[in-house]
Structure 1
């Protein structure tokens, strides 16, 4: 069986046609089924991903003016493309994407340049969704065009991709010409820049050392050097042995090797200097990637049919026109179907071939470092590198227009990259620059997808080899009729042993990267012993430490929700595995993973009031009932009162747990890591991870990788319990006023506030909260043989 769904749909016209929400409505209908998903649900709420065009007929011809090209549309408007040659197929992909995504292509093509040049403080996808307009300068165009040579330097494979890009562009331009579009013809730079947008959005990690290091300085000032550093290590959870991993092999990478080595510095202050003054109003911070993709794969030993199963997809937000769309492509050596996107010249981002399928999640591996540049002679534009004072280069990027207001986009660069701000080390000012290992190489990512497009992947081994060509950092998943596999990609820097990856690197030239991690040392495994590969943007392997900007990789994680569902039964059908994904998508990770520990601690003492006791009882009951945030009766309120209790107590409870030690540093910690990535966001992380390990330690439970310090009650169990009860009781008084009742079982959180909306508002359809893949959701298994 092969089924899929893309909630944003195939349509992209404005205003949206009547059929535009059809896949969103199917997607939404799965949510309330929780873990009770049936085979009929797969047939009714997902559409076919068969290679046979007739599977979702009837088919309607869609004429195209190129001999050798045939396009037919099914009842979901998915194009089924056949070409007599490979060039015909690639050209037709360009024609179709221009037809189905005219508005999106024009909105994204120039804004994506800010990702290609790493313009400080700007997110390309943020500019696209805010309908900003960027007019690139000649300098920007020259910088982007350098990637053509980088691609051709890859040899025959690179030249083949470049030919496909040119053919794809021809298809786009032929369509634009056919409708007398006033838009300028597409160029190679447009496709190259879009690949950088993809990388910035969910294919990179790291690069927040300056902000994190100021917290370290504050902690040392408050707690002393030793305890301050220990608290910093606890909060970063850099290599927590209890962290969830997707495979059972260890792949050491990124450990802090020099906690006070000369190659790193800690800042006393830092101030960002964005390339555009209005950037913050127009875009999400570029340091915050989408972290909501997931993948559930089980081997034949855990499958009712004896064949592996995969339920997987990327979470790229909810947009209309959608960032992805579906195509089914056939030609000489080509037989693929799945979700593609504008950066790919006819290749599938996520999809399937005749006898295998693949998917992706963001890995967030550490491919960006910040450097502290030593300034010369009181200048803010001269810096010392390898014994010489150098002048920073000025990069005139172009003109950015937001809300009708135009401004010049300009920033400075050092040998390491763009200057993103200025800080102080003690009283001495330094410039902070950013170096990305994939910079200038984003288009090389296409080598991976080209291999699958042309049918050259024939096994998990060849899949792994192809994936490792990518400079961007993803977890890539593979399934066929007898294998499951994972590999984590990215151009991973090998750092000087005197550099702490958690802190800015001293930029004077003695502590540069010495190369990149060998392919064999990247996390990878075929058919893990336990028969599962489960990933929700957690670490792929033990000892493969998280990037400096990603602290939420601790003892509990939302990935545990998926594991709970997968290991609930010895063998799965495709429907039950989909149910495991669907249940985890609506559960609250705090109540499912932290609540047992919290409840055990609190119940060792007396509640300060009957209402506080009932609040705890309500939380325990919510967990027993599945801990979901569903509104099944569609009255606009979450069904279970436990959600209202948890949401209302969380901020004071989390503060009470950490304040005894962190105290004045809590506001800074909140800026770096929110207390909870609350719905409608993805619950990726929050302070429940800190509380879990700390409270279990205070309870005297078996804890691997205990924190250096004890936080709640400074380690005193009775004081900790008293302060947590106090936070709950105080929150209960506020909740009673909010809901007009002192009975916690009568409280109901606002489900409408969590409903999913399509950005930027062109499609008015909304969906109930769910934390599922949005770029495409595949449910697939193979029973054939090569």
Structure 2
């Protein structure tokens, strides 16, 4: 069987079966990485499991002063072979022609004389290095594959829950085989690779855990769905946003309610920071009627709990989707070395064991080194080929829509579709911790709950464009791994294979590039993509965005390609659940401002300059960088109500002037800058003060949709600092590409706004005096210990707060390219 598959690989990909350990030319000038969670995955964690975490943590206090020496000391080799990370230790495996050598970080270096041997070895390593984690993931991941409403696979995995799938679930998951077969020879090869990968996984289990049920294709499909749910999708929160709009209209009137909603949703904004040149129009707001849009009554949405008879589960308020990962890239023209540069990686939290691990793969037709996981059977996820590197950030583009189903037949389980009264179908998913999991489905997807429209009950259902196609994402990884990616054009083609939504980045010795993937629906022109779609059948999706419509670009004129999950290009609409993606300011401004400071006399950058920018932004507070300067302008010339309030603003100013860091440099457990304590204590009150004139009683409801601030140790992605920027600039008469339609602070009256903000600061001063036991803001110091980083579920090291890539961070530059 393996011999036949190897022949197939030669026919499809033109692989030559030369010895895998033949010497190869090194095309990289610099190729380094760091994975703080490390390669080990056993419990308890063995000695050395924290070795990379210690290196990672050592970079943090260097702030904006990272040197070449620091980079070499705090990142490890991403070259091929054991290299400087030796001596290597050979590990015996029961597969002819396969050698696995472990380096001092426990990273496996695979040498195989056959293509199949490399794929098999990756399966063996998956079970050897992550068997404990994978045992917890494999069945719980089915929750994502079948879109169980209002429960996530992530929460079940971290909660150590136990989902036992039904036969009905297994039948649905198995249909992803057809999704791969529909992709022709690439899909057929992927299936063959999945099977070979499973052979490796099950060989390890047979030898070391014979009582464990063998892994199947369904396990791989489900884990792909888990990745999709956790990192690769966006949208699907229209019901909550819709009832929020209705509440605005109830209080402010229909016209003004729409204006406030338009402002807060920040659907498109020509003034937002982007990553690539050009405009990519997607998801227009209807201009001539919204007949296909439904607005439900305020506070009427009741989410459905699919667990029958069990303890209540946390519903949509605990959505684990991450808006993390950053990448800093410099073009050849703006590089001090005349070669493109990149520092970047995904932020996926701090877990031990980690969902990702590392392999150096050297087999005929497979030449890569980097991170991988069980969803990518022997394929590269993030890392490098021989002459290029890739990385990604979450794009959270709008793949999911919720529908308002018109009920009929006097029943809560019958609905109208294309003129017929249809019965919902019950889906028996299995059990969670022994309790049955059941839910209803419509033609659109699972029923997530019920609501009312003008008092009439409707059902809410959810439709995901990548449903049943999660595994197709691996065709991108396949091309990254097998030599198909040779330049920017072929990288775009590879990235476009994925139905999941990511910003994928590419670098070689000449170019930098980005492509945003995803199976992006084209909505009916009378559907507002921010709100519920009428489910009667007249307003269905009208196809999917073609490759040319996806955000993409290479070598920006500015010389920089920087992304920290903001929109990558103008005119591309934010998903209904991503109100922070198109803000006028964002945390990416911290990277951009530091990069500007770090240019040399010729206006160019080297690797220490961009690594320093990443590292300094990682401990800055975005409010110190973008909000405090505007706050000072707002309050300039006005009198504080108390001397303490004035001193609080003064401390915030000092903090900003000293780069706005949250570092604890002296190790006393306290943030060095007193201004951080003033801002932390005052921000919620300031946010309420400037938003209350329009939001009124809906302040906390808005916070549930788009939080006042994603405080450290959170990632600072969400925050009303974006609203403050646009509103206060409008109030002060500053030019903006797209100002808000309504005034918020003081309803447009400068003096009223100043008074409200000063009073909020003064109120906070009283609260902080009680907390710190002194009325002197210069003596207040917020806890650094409270925002330290720990690994979950097993803590291998407690680290200082930093907001940088945690999954797999690279520092790379290429000097040449294969001919």
Query: What TM-score, normalized to structure 1?
Result: 0.98
**Closer, same or farther: CA 699–625 of 1 in aligned 2, 3 Å:** same
Distance 2:290 2:158 in 1: 42
- The SS at the match of 1:662 is helix
Name the structure 1 match of 2:451.
423
Matched, 1:542 2:575: no
Contact 1:109 1:190 in 2 (8 A): yes
Q: Find the partner of 1:133 among 162, 184, 196.
A: 162
- The SS at the match of 1:614 is helix
**Deviation of residue 288 (structure 1)?**
4.3
**Deviation of residue 54 (structure 1)?**
1.9
Contact 2:232 2:395 in 1 (8 A): yes
Name the structure 1 match of 2:369.
337
Q: Find the partner of 2:385 among 344, 353, 357.
A: 353
Distance 1:452 1:696 in 2: 45
**Deviation of residue 180 (structure 1)?**
3.3
- The SS at the match of 2:39 is coil
Q: Find the partner of 2:281 among 252, 259, 266.
A: 252
Name the structure 1 match of 2:337.
305
- CA deviations 1:341-389 (Å, max 9, x no partner) are 1111011110101110000100000010000000003311000000001
Q: Find the partner of 2:531 among 469, 480, 503.
A: 503
Contact 2:326 2:565 in 1 (8 A): yes
Q: Find the partner of 1:397 among 429, 439, 442.
A: 429
Contact 1:61 1:71 in 2 (8 A): yes
- The SS at the match of 1:162 is helix
Matched, 1:191 2:223: no
Q: Find the partner of 1:276 among 307, 314, 318.
A: 307
Name the structure 2 match of 1:681.
714
Matched, 1:433 2:466: no
- The SS at the match of 1:501 is coil
**Closer, same or farther: CA 204–280 of 1 in aligned 2, 3 Å:** farther
Matched, 1:458 2:486: yes
Gaps of 5+ in 1: none
Matched, 1:598 2:631: yes
Name the structure 1 match of 2:504.
476
Distance 2:59 2:316 in 1: 29
**Closer, same or farther: CA 688–681 of 1 in aligned 2, 3 Å:** same
Contact 2:317 2:704 in 1 (8 A): no
- The SS at the match of 2:504 is strand
- The SS at the match of 2:437 is strand
Contact 1:217 1:267 in 2 (8 A): yes
Contact 2:151 2:313 in 1 (8 A): no
Name the structure 2 match of 1:319.
351
Distance 1:286 1:58 in 2: 45
Name the structure 2 match of 1:517.
545
Q: Find the partner of 2:196 among 142, 155, 167.
A: 167
**Deviation of residue 670 (structure 1)?**
1.3
Name the structure 2 match of 1:102.
131
Matched, 1:383 2:415: yes
Name the structure 2 match of 1:123.
152
Gaps of 5+ in 2: 1-29
- The SS at the match of 1:757 is coil
Name the structure 2 match of 1:17.
46
Contact 2:356 2:373 in 1 (8 A): yes
**Deviation of residue 17 (structure 1)?**
0.4
**Deviation of residue 528 (structure 1)?**
1.4
Q: How many residues align?
A: 781
- CA deviations 1:188-247 (Å, max 9, x no partner) are 000000000000001000000000011100000100010000000000011122111111
Contact 2:305 2:313 in 1 (8 A): no
**Deviation of residue 53 (structure 1)?**
2.0
**Deviation of residue 259 (structure 1)?**
7.6
**Closer, same or farther: CA 47–24 of 1 in aligned 2, 3 Å:** same
Distance 2:316 2:342 in 1: 32
Contact 1:195 1:442 in 2 (8 A): yes
Contact 1:122 1:279 in 2 (8 A): no
Name the structure 2 match of 1:488.
516
Distance 1:85 1:530 in 2: 45
Structure 1 runs (4+) greater than 3 angstroms displaced: 277-288
- The SS at the match of 1:781 is strand
Distance 1:512 1:170 in 2: 42
**Deviation of residue 120 (structure 1)?**
0.6
Name the structure 1 match of 2:59.
30
Contact 2:343 2:810 in 1 (8 A): yes
Name the structure 2 match of 1:584.
617
Contact 1:208 1:287 in 2 (8 A): no
Distance 1:355 1:776 in 2: 18
1:381-780 to structure 2, matched below 5 A, reads: 381-401=413-433, 406-552=434-580, 553-568=582-597, 569=599, 570-760=603-793, 762-780=794-812
Distance 1:702 1:180 in 2: 66
Name the structure 1 match of 2:12.
none
**Closer, same or farther: CA 399–258 of 1 in aligned 2, 3 Å:** farther
**Deviation of residue 284 (structure 1)?**
7.7
Distance 2:262 2:272 in 1: 15
1:1-150 to structure 2, matched below 5 A, reads: 1-150=30-179
* Stretch deviating more after TM superposition (545-554 or 276-285): 276-285
Contact 2:64 2:615 in 1 (8 A): yes
Distance 2:195 2:314 in 1: 32
**Deviation of residue 52 (structure 1)?**
3.0
* RMSD across aligned positions (CA): 1.2
Distance 1:283 1:180 in 2: 36
- CA deviations 1:592-619 (Å, max 9, x no partner) are 0111111111122011111111100100
- The SS at the match of 1:3 is strand
- The SS at the match of 1:80 is strand
Distance 1:725 1:660 in 2: 15
Query: What TM-score, normalized to structure 2?
Result: 0.94
Distance 2:313 2:429 in 1: 19
Name the structure 1 match of 2:328.
296
Contact 2:276 2:554 in 1 (8 A): no
Distance 2:181 2:720 in 1: 47
**Deviation of residue 276 (structure 1)?**
2.6
Matched, 1:366 2:398: yes
Distance 2:294 2:373 in 1: 41
Distance 1:764 1:104 in 2: 15
- The SS at the match of 1:37 is coil
Contact 2:335 2:341 in 1 (8 A): yes
* Stretch deviating more after TM superposition (237-246 or 500-509): 237-246
- The SS at the match of 1:329 is strand
**Deviation of residue 765 (structure 1)?**
1.8
**Deviation of residue 752 (structure 1)?**
0.9
Distance 1:712 1:649 in 2: 16
- The SS at the match of 1:64 is coil
Distance 1:413 1:567 in 2: 52
- The SS at the match of 1:742 is coil
Distance 1:670 1:491 in 2: 30
**Deviation of residue 279 (structure 1)?**
8.0
- CA deviations 1:496-521 (Å, max 9, x no partner) are 00100011000000000010001111
- The SS at the match of 1:766 is coil
